[in-house]
Amino acid sequence: MHHLAQYTHTHVGSSQDAPIIVFDSGIGGLTVLREARVLMPDRHFIYVADDAGFPYGSWEEPALRERIVTLFAELIRRFHPQLCVIACNTASTLVLDDLRQAFPDTPFVGTVPAIKPAAERTHSGLVSVLATPGTVKRAYTRDLIQSFASQCHVRLVGADRLATLAEAHIRGEKIDDELVLEQITPCFIEQDGKRTDIVVLACTHYPFLANVFRRLAPWPVDWLDPAEAIARRMLSLLPEAKDKSLHHHEDLAVFTSGKPDYAIRRLLQGFGLRN
Ligand code: DGL
């Protein structure tokens, strides 16, 4: 893929030195990178956004599966990562198994809807999962509910606009409260004197909108963001960083469009990502 061709140097070295790829369709995975860096400040990260394919929420499954596996063949060849994090629910619920099969030497950590912790925490038994239309359609998501939340009433809410609104919000554009409210309203259920008390943020873009959600919500709920749990999972899979004095590579952002706009480039700089 020519948009990756400019990054010709690879980072093969001691495995501790090898990069960790954090992948999403857009900027949502930055919410995971942020937590990963808190736990692993010495590690070398490469943030990859398939912004040329954004949003993933509306893709047909076979085409999206093929696109992501092909992209990872290229990323693994170029960067020799020690770990890949699919910081995207829409992708993880579709291709995690395919990626593990296609690249058995590379460990993958996925981001899947936090249905199990929500089921453990809810008091009312009414839980909502706010995600892209792709994620709510997945067999993987239905299986999670069956396996871990069969005693709860789980409402799946497929929001077709929120990932794009999150991108706009983070670019500093004004977003329409009415539109956001329309997207989150189906999450709020009142039934037999009980109310939804947990909304799972099952798209990595949504934590960027958490304050807007809080402000607009018809009543307070726990907005469950799994980023910290994902970071802990990453840490558990990595060999211990023995040599803390290793030269730290500059972290890098790769956008498949090859041309993230000015606002995004500023955001990436704020995250300390060269692009
Ligand atoms: N950030 C992605 C997720 O976690 C999805 C955004 C999109 O491409 O629609 O599902």
Return the pLDDT at 248. Answer: 66
Residues 99 and 61 in one domain: yes
Return the pLDDT at 1. Answer: 39
Q: Which of 208, 225, 242 is the last residue of a domain?
A: 225
> Would you say the CB of residue 212 lies under 6 angstroms from ligand 1?
no
Residues 107 and 130 in one domain: no
Give the closest residue to 161 by CA, choosing from 132, 140, 187.
Answer: 132
* Tens-level pLDDT at each residue, the chain (275 residues): 335 544 434 444 447 789 999 999 999 999 999 999 999 999 999 999 999 999 999 899 999 999 999 999 999 999 999 999 999 999 999 999 999 999 999 999 999 999 999 999 999 999 999 999 999 999 999 999 999 999 999 999 999 999 999 999 999 999 999 999 999 999 999 999 999 999 999 999 999 999 999 999 999 999 999 999 999 999 999 988 776 665 567 899 999 999 999 999 999 999 999 99
Domain of 189, in residue numbers: 115-225
**C-alpha–C-alpha distance, residues 39 and 270, integer Å:** 19
Return the pLDDT at 4. Answer: 54
Residues 177 and 218 in one domain: yes
Give the DSSP letter string of 191-204: ETTEE--EEEE-ST
**C-alpha–C-alpha distance, residues 2 and 258, integer Å:** 9
Residues 126 and 209 in one domain: yes
Per-state percent for the chain, helix, strand, coil, to nearest 5: 45, 15, 40
Residue 33's alpha-carbon distances to 45, 52, 217, in angstroms, are 8, 20, 27
137-187 pLDDT tens trace: 999 999 999 999 999 999 999 999 999 999 999 999 999 999 999 999 999
Residues 51 and 75 in one domain: yes
Return the pLDDT at 227. Answer: 97
**For 1-22, b where at least 16 C-beta lie within 10 A, e where not — what string?**
eeebeeeeeebeeeebbbbbbb
Residue 30 is given by DSSP the state H
Residues 62 and 196 in one domain: no
Which residue in the list 84, 152, 187, 203 is annotated as catalytic?
A: 203
Q: Which of 225, 243, 265 is the last residue of a domain?
A: 225
> Would you say the CB of residue 93 lies under 6 angstroms from ligand 1?
no
Is 88 considered catalytic here? yes
**C-alpha–C-alpha distance, residues 38 and 33, integer Å:** 9
**C-alpha–C-alpha distance, residues 156 and 137, integer Å:** 9
Ligand 1 atom index nearest CA of 87: 4
Return the pLDDT at 240. Answer: 81
Residues 107 and 124 in one domain: no
Residues 165 and 241 in one domain: no
Number of Cβ within a 10 Å radius of residue 32: 28
**C-alpha–C-alpha distance, residues 118 and 224, integer Å:** 7
Give the count of domains, the chain: 2
55-82 pLDDT tens trace: 999 899 999 999 999 999 999 999 999 9
Q: Are 246 and 208 in contact (CB under 8 A)?
A: no
Residues 136 and 210 in one domain: yes
CATH number at residue 185: 3.40.50.1860
Ligand 1 atom index nearest CA of 56: 8
What are 67's two structure tokens? 């696109």
Return the pLDDT at 90. Answer: 97
Does residue 158 sit in helix, strand or coil? strand
Does residue 77 sit in helix, strand or coil? helix
Return the pLDDT at 245. Answer: 61
Beta bridge partners of 194: 191
Give the closest residue to 83 by CA, choosing from 144, 150, 142, 16.
Answer: 16
Residues 18 and 120 in one domain: no
Residues 123 and 206 in one domain: yes
Is 187 considered catalytic here? no
Secondary element (H or E) of residue 69: helix 61-79
**C-alpha–C-alpha distance, residues 18 and 134, integer Å:** 32
Residue 104 is given by DSSP the state T
> Would you say the CB of residue 22 lies under 6 angstroms from ligand 1?
no
Residues 175 and 234 in one domain: no
Return the pLDDT at 247. Answer: 59
The answer to whether the pTM exceeds 0.85 is yes
**C-alpha–C-alpha distance, residues 209 and 146, integer Å:** 29
Return the pLDDT at 113. Answer: 98
